[in-house]
């Protein structure tokens, strides 16, 4: 059984979907989890929910990953109330889907700012504590679209592909400090984001998946838990695909 009782874990975008499932999974393994999201009330509510259901101390911080100022405030709060973060799961992300020829510059720049620049900023803030301890886990949530593309998502797919390069390079820089950096690339997972896909398109996606179903948020969270544990102490710079055989 995985035991993370001496670890502090921060999951960005953890008030719903994959982030929430991951927070639950890490808390069930004993970690002190920090719930983050753009809504302070929502983050606080999820932290209280996990704490009462799992029975471990859970924290929260308002965090807009697309804002450098918000990241600074959240990190100060975390340092004061919790201390250094041992496990960072970079999950927060947005979509602004449209065909490339119709894509506005602001749609391109906003997705890059949130999905890629935000990941860079919060990781840079929190990795220093890991370096001092000479132990850390950084897990970046990429996507299958980084590898196969998807119509209408040049901005989103570019950021998720960028996270792969970020992962592999940072893994080499931090390996000597006993910090692993890996990515998880989910396929089509049942979340609020995929719920908006029209039924006919969902059916086409489903037909491409050998396992014949969409994944669950817990399917992804299970892999994150493994990568966060000592079971994965010699795994770094890798991308783990969770897509039911789609890729």
Q: What residues are labeled active site?
A: 156
Residue 65 near residue 15, CB atoms below 8 Å: no
Distance CA 106, CA 55 (A): 43
Report helix angle 17-28 to 40-54, nearest 10: 30
Report the sign of the C-alpha dihedral through residues 5, 221, 93, 186, in that order. Answer: positive
**How would you class 234 by CB atoms within 10 Å of its CB: exposed for 0-12, middle for 13-18, buried for 19 or more?**
exposed
Distance CA 171, CA 244 (A): 26
Distance CA 142, CA 139 (A): 9
């Amino acid at each position: 059984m995985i035991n993370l009782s001496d670890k502090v874990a921060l999951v960005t975008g953890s008030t719903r979907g994959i982030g929430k499932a991951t927070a639950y999974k890490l808390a069930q393994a004993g970690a002190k989890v920090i719930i983050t999201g753009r809504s302070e009330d929502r983050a606080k509510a999820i932290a209280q929910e996990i704490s009462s259901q799992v029975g471990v101390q859970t924290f929260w911080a308002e965090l807009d990953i697309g804002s450098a100022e918000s990241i600074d405030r959240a990190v100060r709060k975390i340092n004061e109330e919790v201390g250094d973060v041992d496990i960072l799961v970079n999950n927060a992300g947005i979509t602004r889907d449209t065909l490339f020829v119709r894509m506005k510059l602001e749609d391109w720049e906003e997705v890059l700012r949130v999905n890629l620049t935000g990941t860079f900023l919060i990781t840079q803030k929190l990795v220093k504590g890991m370096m001092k301890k000479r132990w850390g886990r950084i897990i970046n949530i990429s996507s299958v679209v980084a590898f196969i593309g998807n119509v209408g998502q040049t901005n989103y797919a570019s950021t998720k592909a960028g996270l792969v390069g970020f992962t592999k390079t940072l893994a080499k820089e931090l390996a000597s400090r006993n910090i692993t950096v890996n990515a998880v690339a989910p396929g089509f997972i049942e979340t609020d984001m995929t719920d908006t896909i029209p039924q006919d398109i969902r059916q086409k996606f489903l037909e491409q998946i050998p396992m014949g179903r969409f994944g669950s948020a817990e399917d992804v969270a299970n892999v994150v838990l493994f990568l966060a544990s000592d079971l994965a102490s010699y795994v770094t710079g890798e991308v783990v695909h969770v897509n039911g055989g789609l890729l």
